[in-house]
Amino acid sequence: MQTYLVHTRRSAKRCQALDWRSQFGLHVLIGGMLLSALVHPIVLAIIGWLSFTGNLLAPSASTMERALVWIGLANLGLGYVSAMLAAAVASWQRGWRRLSLQALLMPAYWLLISFASYRALLQLITAPHLWEKTAHGHSRAARPERS
């Protein structure tokens, strides 16, 4: 989030340095990832609520509304399946057979990413200069050998 804000804070100057394709790519790639992580649990909550109340595929909806709902649900489902399948196939081809089954946990992992994104957003608002740096060099492998 901080990187995105830094790269977009002087957009007039940046427009001179980057062409429109690079600008578009920056916003779609970085901004899209941030937005999707923040919106994902909201979309799932709305789908869950509409399913619970029986209004997800409401017969009173127009044909266009029903078509859009089906397209959206198919897009979400196919997105989940294609990402999990790609991860499973990639790990299987690398010889990590047991790891490929864990691709089924990707939706839970994506929810954890969303949780981390909301936490990062809250920290960005309340403590913008906080840097939670990962400690390195504490494992046995990283310690120098004593002679």
- Residue 83: pLDDT band with limits 50, 70, 90: very high
Mean pLDDT calculated for residue range 104-110: 92
* Range 11-36 average pLDDT: 80
| 139 has a pLDDT exceeding 70 | no
Q: pLDDT-derived band of residue 89, with 50, 70 and 90 as boundaries?
A: very high
Tokens at residue 87, please?
A: 């991860």
pLDDT of 81 strictly over 90:
yes
Cβ atoms of 74 and 83 within 8 Å: the answer is no
Residue 143 reports pLDDT greater than 60: no
Q: Which two tokens mark 97?
A: 């057979």
Q: Give the pLDDT band (50/70/90) at residue 86.
A: very high
Joined tokens for residue 24 = 């578009």
- Could you report the per-residue pLDDT of 26-47, keeping only the tens digit for each? 888 888 999 999 999 999 999 8
Looking at residue 142, what is its pLDDT? 55
d(CA 25, CA 18): 10
Cα 9 → chain centroid = 23
Return mean pLDDT, the chain.
Answer: 84
pLDDT of the residue at 87: 93
What was the pLDDT predicted at 62?
83
Mean pLDDT of the region 62-75: 87
Give the N- to C-terminal CA distance of the chain in Å, as an integer. Answer: 45
